Amino acid sequence: MNNVWAAEECAMCDEVLDENLQAEDCEVCNPDMVNSPPHYNTIGIECIEAMKAMSGGAILPSSHAHYCWQNAFKYLWRHPYKGASMEDLKKCEYYLKRLMNEYDENIK
């Protein structure tokens, strides 16, 4: 007698579930919006990991400039994926302007 394991599928999206997951744990239907929101990981790279990589060795005029730079990057990264493109682009612009002000104020 063959004992073949049949993979469970999510009833909502037919995604094949890992053997340790139940249907209510489907990552497609129930994404983890805190630890891995889909609009920050649509291309297989987490936005926060890209931000960490890009900030290593960066020389900016202040800690606030780093904050503004990374926020602008975050909003630019997610704008085509979250469904609020113009809002995210405006937020990106807001942080870019603050970043430019940091340069104006700190580099003379």
Give the model confidence (pLDDT) of 5-38 as tens digits: 445 665 556 656 566 555 556 565 666 666 666 6
| Residue 103, C-beta contacts closer than 8 angstroms, at least 6 positions apart | 61, 65
Q: Return d(Cα 17, Cα 9) in angstroms, integer.
A: 6
pLDDT of residue 49: 86
Highest mean pLDDT range out of 14-23, 42-51, 57-66? 57-66
Which pLDDT band holds residue 41 (cuts at 50, 70, 90)? low
Which pLDDT band holds residue 48 (cuts at 50, 70, 90)? confident
Q: Return d(Cα 32, Cα 6) in angstroms, integer.
A: 26
Look-up: residue for tokens 């937020």?
91
